[in-house]
Every structure is written in structure tokens, then in C-alpha cells.
Amino acid sequence: MSFSYQYPKFLFPGKTQFAEGKGPEDLKIFTRINSVNPLNWMKTAKFIARLKPDYVIIRFWLPFMGPALGTIAGKLRKKGVKVLAITDNVIPHESRLGDRWLTKYFLKRCDWVYYAF
């Protein structure tokens, strides 16, 4: 599951948010998650739940993603899906107002969290 829209321009200084070229041929990539659209988070969770996974693994690297990924994780847990998280930068080097709350929102909706430092 990948992002259709990752960052607003004020958070992304680069030229594009998308990788060039094709993905691996043996991997099905769904480009669905919109980081700023709550209706999309609900639809994405429903889409994943229909696939009937036993668990999902979510990569978390930025507090800004907390609401989107946390909502998806919470909805999946309500459907009985175990949510595992691999995290980087849980406490950002350049902390901003709201970072702790956004991170907690995500972490509380996971069954298991690995903190990569």
C-alpha cells in the first residue's frame, strides 16, 4: 500500500514525491493513501480489510503521518487485523508543536511497535 499524496508542498522541498520507473514485477503496489484526506483513510482501511490480512506492517517515520496511518491502523484493528509498526524518528530531531500528540495517536493504534533509532 503506497501513497497517492504524501506531503503538502510546505513539508516537501523536493521536485516530486513519486519514484521514477516501475516497481518490482513480483510485488502488487496499490497507490491509495492520501495523507491529508480523512475520507480516504477510511476507504483505504476498508480496502485493506477486504483483502483479509492477518496483520499489516506500517512504516512510520514522521509525526505528520500520525493521523492518516493511525486512523487506518485503528480501523483495521477493529476488524481483527493485527497492526505492526516499524518506526523511525519517533521523536523528530527538529520537534514541532503537535509532534508528540500525532505520534501517540498512531502508536496507540498499533499492537506491536519496533523503534529503530
Domain map of the chain by residue range? Answer: 2-116
Q: Is 82 helix (H, G, I), strand (E, B) or coil?
A: strand
Could you give phi then psi for residue 86, rounded to 5 degrees?
Answer: -110, 120
Q: What is the pLDDT, as a whole number, of residue 6?
A: 82
Q: pLDDT-derived band of residue 8, with 50, 70 and 90 as boundaries?
A: confident
Q: Give me the mean pLDDT over the 15-40 stretch.
A: 83
| Whole-number Å distance between alpha carbons of 98 and 95 | 9
- Taken as a whole, the chain contains a residue count of 117
Query: Given 1.10.940, 1.10.10, 3.40.50, 3.30.200, which CATH number is that of 2-116?
Result: 3.40.50
Is the pLDDT at 12 greater than 70? The verdict is no
Is the pLDDT at 104 greater than 90? The verdict is yes
Could you give phi then psi for residue 2, rounded to 5 degrees?
Answer: -130, 180
Q: What is the pLDDT, as a whole number, of residue 17?
A: 59
Q: What is the pLDDT, as a whole number, of residue 18?
A: 62
Global pTM? 0.86
User: What's the gap between Cα 79 and its chain centre?
Assistant: 17
Q: What is the pLDDT, as a whole number, of residue 72?
A: 98
